[in-house]
């Protein structure tokens, strides 16, 4: 691993320029060029046909909903929609790509020249969108025989083509400059915003942990804003919001150290490693890739009629920024609270939790408190932890009804995160219910009084505040399952202070 | 004058994933050169303002509805595979980058 | 029984429908003929005797039940091995697909089945349809029934030779640069390339996607039209398929009338390089058309001379991409997988072993023409020439209804004569390529023989979706020539069963 420069020093010495290529898997029922199902998690090679297996003689036919999804994404990104657009073949060999060319778009993309506004620390930053084009996904390989399941060191690979041919929209930003130290944060906000947009459009669930939204992070440094862009690196597999931020931070530190040492940045593909937040160089190619693009002769041009585009434009949902303003006022959040919710990617989660029955404040406390802490500890995005907004609402209703206290609620949450079922199921399975039955607690209280005669005396003498120590002893003895208020009332009653 | 060099033929063979022997390289260099030289006359035929034709028919917007059609049974999918394992295509080690 | 192989497909169809003979008898008669002559001709790569007999029996049973089937129900057919047929070996003439049994049927195959046409087997061809002689088949050459030392044309030499040698009354070919018409011309059969998009390409193993088109190979015009009607028409599985009814080809074949038609003779397709008695037969056919009431004029198509180089950029470019899928990962041949080699090495070794010289040559030309830095000068320029050729056609069709020319500059050459000289080989497609580039319909009609008793073909070219016009011209010529000759041209071919 090359040396890293401290971040503050790096961004002081250099001006970072970044770009993103975001791939969104559309949630269509069928693949882009054939009628195979796209349902996630099917048995290997059960959602394939001659077309998506690249068998001799098979031909592609465009999925209309895939084109519609592309146009709607383009419109939401303020792009122009090309009145005439074509597919092209991108030729290169790779075992998980059945035809050894990817059906994509080249110089005639369906959407081009748009922009996206993101809010970071209360400031709105406009990011240019170069293009959004249609293409198809590849199959998935399982690398066997190596130590880590990674491609390096594997003896062979096993390929499943269920994913091959699923529609992808590739969104490419223009270079973003002048952001300085906030580069990683802004990049993260851009990916988060795109995720919110595509979810709002209903064109993709955009679950990053399932690969439904993936991104490549491009970064270059230069000494000052008035000189041309430096050489960029392209980091692949940056597949969570948190990783976007970490990958850019790492690359800024790495490139800064390299350039300061008199080295040069190589234009190369790099890989991001979730475990330690580093990037490493991909295989150095002996020769530059030559994709030999040419118009796909098996498909005819897509020329979306103006009326169609107009209809899709008119039916666009509210923009994320408008929606955020509406939600902020509905929820009564301060600007600061709203900004943290946006930054953490929690807006959808809070909205869904409120819809499931909690107050907005409660939802915010859960997602930005306990859950944000855990996500951070485990290096996961908030929504990738395995707990749903509905479960959080259920948990809160157990607290509200007095069946759980805060401590127990956290234990229940642990059970839910461990996959033990819904909060109610975890409560039952783990036997985690608050005990507020005075009969059951009476003995524990008597024991606590007997064990702490001096404290008991103080309370008898009117120092009611000292009761806390006895409550603590009872809680300890009951392993937290007692209802604290009931215990306190019982202590005071037994010591004759009420 | 030669249009294409032996080194270029080697590069093309690599791009096209065809292993060529030295003899074949010599043979193809000569033949491709003859073919490409005689084809090269084409570069002067059309003026800049002539649009290219990539498709003989002026069709546009041929699309299908997003309706699921049955896939092939996995047995049929793998029947012709040179090697299969765990209902997947078994392929030799991939030396490249993770996609 | 053996005279069943001398009948036309239409005649066989009506005899089967009237139960004068059974489909099974007709199929068996053709298998008998194959057994007797195909060791000399080598038209077939695979015979599906079991499947064909089963299908024939089904047709017979349906007819016995009184079902009304199409005019070709029960008639056998030879299918070019570039079209996939479910569970039947399909190789496209290549080692790389040896042993592959496709898990699906091509649309053409489905339509043949629906019409009750019985597929006898798969016919030989130049590997992946790249060639003009069928010598580039990985499974050995096919011989011309007119002279076994000569080529039957290509790439679809197998289908044309099978039809010419009465091993099948019907054949299917595919035509990318002339692969139906040129074999038709040199074997004395009818070969029709429909309008691009007129017949589905779904299940046709792609050579050059923007040029490939499947079509009928028969011994007479009416059979071609009947078969054309079966396989033609819109297919939602092929995005480039024309969504319109098949032009009235059968009506045109039956009408056989050229009175009042305007016919243009392509000026550029004559002179140096054209065998004199090929030009003579073409001139005589043109004179005959005048006599039959057509108005004949000479037409210039100045860009047609550039069709050949444009084609030899476009077709290899597309094929370099289309054939990339043969990588030893999912189907077909795999070579060198000894556990130490990478996927990349195994792919390269397999393609080296599995592809023949001509396929490799074209893949490399195409890879070159598409690579960065050369695209504009080669592929891009070829696409512009394509526009110019299409404009030549458009200008010509303002004056005339069809254009005519020799189908091929020479009659059948000897096996081995051009196989090491790609440029000479490519020259065989000089006259047929313009129609592929423009997408129009074109047919080769037998119009006589040369001094060596080798067939000569006349090419009739029409605008896109005017497929009926070549049938009108072809049928009129056929009727007049048959009368003039006192029988069909093919009756002058040597009788293979007696020779050697």
What does the pLDDT look like over A60-82, one tens digit per residue? 999 999 999 999 999 999 999 99
**Extents of the domains making up chain A:** 7-312, 319-417, 438-494
| Token pair belonging to A481 | 């399952």
- C86 is an active site residue: no
| Token pair belonging to A498 | 């009420």
- C80 is an active site residue: yes
CA angle C78, C197, C476 (to 5 degrees): 65
CB contact under 8 A, A66 and B66: yes
CA neighbours within 13 Å on the CB side: how many for C365? 31
Residue A233 near chain B (CB below 8 Å): no
Low-confidence ranges of chain C (pLDDT < 70): 1-2, 498-500
pLDDT, averaged per 10 consecutive residues of chain B (99 residues), comes to 84 96 92 88 86 92 98 97 97 79
What is the 3-class SS of A284-308, one letter each residue?
Answer: CCCCCCCCCCEECCCCCCECCCHHH
Output the pLDDT for position C500: 42
CB contact under 8 A, A157 and C375: no
Output the pLDDT for position C498: 61
pLDDT band at A480 (very low <50, low <70, confident <90, very high): confident
Residues in chain C: 500
Provide the shortest C-alpha distance from residue C240 to chain B (in Å).
7
Cβ C24 vs Cβ C16: under 8 Å:
no
Q: Supply the CATH number for residue C446's domain.
A: 3.90.1300.10
Residues 41-80 of C with CB under 8 A from A: none
**Cα A136–chain centre separation:** 22
ipTM, two decimals: 0.96
Q: Which residue of B has its CA nearest to A39?
A: B68
Strands A111-120 and A80-81: antiparallel
C239 within a domain of the structure (yes/no): yes
Residue C399 belongs to domain spanning? 2-304+386-492
Which DSSP string do the residues of C155-211 spell out, in sequence order?
A: SSHHHHHHHHTTS-SEEEEE-SSSTTHHHHHHHT-EEEEPPTTSB--TTBPPSSTTT
Residue B75 near chain A (CB below 8 Å): no
Residue B81 near chain A (CB below 8 Å): no
Cβ A94 vs Cβ A128: under 8 Å:
no
Give SS3 for A37: strand
pLDDT tens by residue, A315-367: 999 988 889 899 999 999 999 999 889 888 899 899 999 999 999 999 999 99
CA dihedral B10, B12, B48, A294 (to 10 degrees): -170
Residue of C370, C373, C375, C377 best to disrupt the A interface, most CBs of A under 10 A: C370
Residue A14 near chain C (CB below 8 Å): no
CA angle A420, A422, A427 (to 5 degrees): 80
Give SS3 for A494: helix
- C155 is an active site residue: yes
Output the pLDDT for position A447: 86
Instruction: Give the residue among C380, C383, C363 at the shortest CA–CA distance from C372.
Output: C380
Residue A298 near chain B (CB below 8 Å): no
C348 within a domain of the structure (yes/no): no
Output the pLDDT for position A451: 87
**What integer is the mean pLDDT of A273-283?**
88
pLDDT band at A490 (very low <50, low <70, confident <90, very high): confident
CA-to-CA distance for C84 and C93, rounded, in angstroms?
Answer: 12
| Token pair belonging to A152 | 């390096």
pLDDT band at A445 (very low <50, low <70, confident <90, very high): confident
A435 pLDDT exceeds 90?
Answer: no
CA angle A289, A291, A293 (to 5 degrees): 155
Burial grade of C336 (CB within 10 A; 0-12, 13-18, 19 or more): middle
Query: How many domains in chain C?
Result: 1
CA-to-CA distance for A266 and C452, rounded, in angstroms?
Answer: 68
C-alpha distances out from residue A129 to A73, A114, A225, A313, C422, Å: 11, 5, 21, 18, 49
Q: Which residues in chain A are closer than 8 Å to B90, comparing Cβ atoms? A: 156-158
- Domain A438-494: assigned CATH number: 1.10.10
Domains (range + CATH), chain B: 6-44 (1.10.20)
A314 pLDDT exceeds 70?
Answer: yes
C355 within a domain of the structure (yes/no): no
Output the pLDDT for position A463: 84
Output the pLDDT for position A1: 43
Provide the shortest C-alpha distance from residue B31 to chain A (in Å).
22
CA dihedral B44, B46, B51, B56 (to 10 degrees): -100
Instruction: Give the residue among A214, A199, A201 at the shortest CA–CA distance from A135.
Output: A214
Residue of A64, A158, A162 best to disrupt the B interface, most CBs of B under 10 A: A158
C361 within a domain of the structure (yes/no): no
Q: What are phi and psi of A401, to 5 degrees?
A: -85, 0
C-alpha distances out from residue C201 to A32, A320, C82, C177, Å: 19, 45, 11, 15
- Give Cβ neighbours of residue A162 (< 8 Å, ≥ 6 apart): A42, A44, A45, A46, A47, A48, A139, A140
CA-to-CA distance for A487 and A472, rounded, in angstroms?
Answer: 9
Contacting chains of B (3 CB pairs or more, <8 Å) are A, C
Residue C379 near chain A (CB below 8 Å): yes
Strands C76-80 and C170-174: parallel
Give SS3 for C85: strand
Burial grade of C161 (CB within 10 A; 0-12, 13-18, 19 or more): buried
Compare CB distances from B28 to C332, C337, C364 and report the shortest one's residue: C364
The catalytic residue among C159, C179, C200, C444 is C179
């Amino acid at each position: 691993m090359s040396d890293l420069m401290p971040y503050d020093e790096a961004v002081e010495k250099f001006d970072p320029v970044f770009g993103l290529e975001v791939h969104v898997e559309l949630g269509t029922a069928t693949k882009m060029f054939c009628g195979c199902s796209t349902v996630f998690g099917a048995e290997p090679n059960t959602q394939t046909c001659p077309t998506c297996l690249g068998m001799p003689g098979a031909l592609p036919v465009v999925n209309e909903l895939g084109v519609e999804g592309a146009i709607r994404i383009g419109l939401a990104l303020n792009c122009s929609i090309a009145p005439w657009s074509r597919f092209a073949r991108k030729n290169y060999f790779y075992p998980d790509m059945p035809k050894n060319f990817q059906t994509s778009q080249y110089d005639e993309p369906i959407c081009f020249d748009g922009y996206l506004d993101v809010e970071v620390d209360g400031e709105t930053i406009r990011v240019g969108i170069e293009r959004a084009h249609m293409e198809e996904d590849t199959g998935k390989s399982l690398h066997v025989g190596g130590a880590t399941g990674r491609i390096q060191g594997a003896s062979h690979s096993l390929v499943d083509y269920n994913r091959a041919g699923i529609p992808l929209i590739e969104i490419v930003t223009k270079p973003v400059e002048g952001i300085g130290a906030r580069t990683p944060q802004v990049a993260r906000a851009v990916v988060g915003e795109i995720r919110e947009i595509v979810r709002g459009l209903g064109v993709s669930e955009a679950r990053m942990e399932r690969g439904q939204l993936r991104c490549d992070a491009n970064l270059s440094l230069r000494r000052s804003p008035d000189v041309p862009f430096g050489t960029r690196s392209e980091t692949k597999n940056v597949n969570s919001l948190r990783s976007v931020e970490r990958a850019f931070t790492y690359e800024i530190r790495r490139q800064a150290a390299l350039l300061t040492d008199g080295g040069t940045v190589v234009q190369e593909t790099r890989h991001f490693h979730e475990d330690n937040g580093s990037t490493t160089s991909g295989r150095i190619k002996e020769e530059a890739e030559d994709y030999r693009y040419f118009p796909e002769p098996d498909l005819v041009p897509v020329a979306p009629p103006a009326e169609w585009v107009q209809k899709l434009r008119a039916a666009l949902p509210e923009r994320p920024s408008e929606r955020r303003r509406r939600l902020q006022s509905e929820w009564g959040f301060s600007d600061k609270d709203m900004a943290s919710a946006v930054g953490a990617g929690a807006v959808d989660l809070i909205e869904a939790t409120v819809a499931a029955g909690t107050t907005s404040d409660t939802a915010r406390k859960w997602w930005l408190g306990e859950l944000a802490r855990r996500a951070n500890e485990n290096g996961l995005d908030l929504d990738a932890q395995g707990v749903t907004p509905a479960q959080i609402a259920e948990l809160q209703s157990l607290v509200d009804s007095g069946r759980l206290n805060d401590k127990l609620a956290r234990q229940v949450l642990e059970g839910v995160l461990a996959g033990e079922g819904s909060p109610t199921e975890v409560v039952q399975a783990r036997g985690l219910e608050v005990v507020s039955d005075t009969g059951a607690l009476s003995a524990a209280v008597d024991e606590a009084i007997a064990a702490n005669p001096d404290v008991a005396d103080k309370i008898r003498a009117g120092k009611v505040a000292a009761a806390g120590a006895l409550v603590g002893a009872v809680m300890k003895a009951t392993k937290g399952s007692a209802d604290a208020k009931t215990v306190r009332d019982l202590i005071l009653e037994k010591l004759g202070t009420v | 004058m030669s249009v294409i060099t032996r080194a270029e033929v080697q590069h093309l063979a690599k791009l096209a994933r065809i292993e060529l022997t030295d003899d074949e390289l010599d043979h193809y260099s000569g033949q491709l050169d003859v073919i490409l030289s005689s084809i090269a006359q084409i570069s002067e035929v059309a003026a800049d303002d002539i649009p290219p034709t990539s498709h003989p028919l002026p069709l546009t917007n041929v699309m299908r509805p997003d309706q699921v059609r049955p896939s092939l049974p996995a047995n049929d999918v793998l029947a012709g595979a040179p090697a299969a394992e765990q209902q997947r295509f078994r392929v030799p080690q991939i030396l490249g980058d993770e996609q | 029984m053996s005279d069943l192989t001398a009948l036309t497909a239409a005649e066989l169809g009506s005899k089967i429908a009237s139960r004068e003979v059974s489909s099974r008898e007709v199929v068996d008669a053709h298998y008998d003929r194959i057994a007797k002559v195909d060791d000399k001709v080598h038209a077939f790569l695979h015979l599906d005797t079991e499947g064909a007999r089963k299908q024939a029996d089904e047709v017979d049973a349906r007819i016995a039940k009184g079902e009304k089937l199409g005019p070709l129900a029960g008639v056998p057919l030879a299918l070019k091995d570039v079209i996939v047929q479910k569970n039947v070996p399909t190789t496209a003439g290549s080692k790389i697909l040896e042993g592959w049994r496709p898990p699906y049927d091509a649309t053409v195959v489905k339509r043949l089945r629906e019409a009750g046409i019985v597929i006898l087997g798969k016919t030989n061809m130049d590997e992946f349809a790249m060639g003009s002689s069928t010598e580039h088949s990985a499974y050995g050459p096919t011989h011309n029934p007119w002279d076994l030392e000569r080529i039957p044309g290509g790439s679809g030499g197998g289908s044309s030779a099978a039809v010419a040698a009465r091993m099948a009354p019907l054949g299917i070919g595919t035509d990318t640069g002339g692969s139906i018409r040129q074999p038709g011309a040199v074997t004395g059969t009818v070969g029709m390339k429909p309008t691009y998009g007129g017949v589905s390409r779904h299940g046709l193993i792609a050579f050059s996607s923007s040029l490939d088109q499947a079509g009928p190979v028969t011994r007479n015009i009416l059979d071609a039209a009947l078969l054309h009607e079966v396989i033609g028409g819109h297919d939602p599985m092929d995005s480039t398929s024309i969504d319109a009814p098949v032009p009235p080809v059968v009506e045109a074949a039956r009408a056989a009338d050229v009175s009042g038609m305007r016919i243009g003779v392509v000026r550029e397709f004559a002179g140096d390089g054209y065998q004199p008695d090929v030009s003579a037969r073409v001139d005589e056919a043109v004179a005959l058309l005048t006599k039959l009431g057509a108005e004949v004029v000479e037409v210039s198509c100045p860009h047609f001379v550039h069709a050949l180089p444009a084609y030899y950029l476009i077709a290899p470019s597309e094929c370099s991409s289309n054939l990339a899928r043969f990588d030893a990962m999912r189907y077909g041949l795999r070579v060198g997988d000894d556990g130490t080699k990478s996927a990349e090495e195994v792919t390269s070794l397999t393609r080296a072993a599995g592809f023949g010289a001509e396929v490799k040559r074209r893949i490399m030309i195409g890879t070159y023409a598409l690579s960065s830095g050369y695209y504009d000068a080669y592929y891009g320029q070829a696409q512009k020439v394509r526009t110019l050729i299409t404009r030549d056609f458009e200008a010509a069709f303002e004056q005339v209804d069809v254009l005519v020319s020799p189908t091929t500059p020479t009659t059948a050459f000897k096996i081995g004569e051009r196989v090491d000289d790609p440029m000479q080989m490519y020259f065989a497609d000089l006259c047929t390529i313009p129609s592929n580039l423009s997408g129009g319909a074109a047919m080769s009609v037998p119009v006589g023989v040369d001094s060596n008793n080798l067939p000569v073909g006349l090419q009739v070219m029409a605008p896109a979706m005017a497929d009926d016009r070549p049938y009108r011209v072809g049928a009129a010529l056929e009727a007049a020539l048959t009368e003039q000759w006192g029988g069909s041209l093919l009756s002058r071919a040597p009788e293979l069963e007696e020779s050697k």
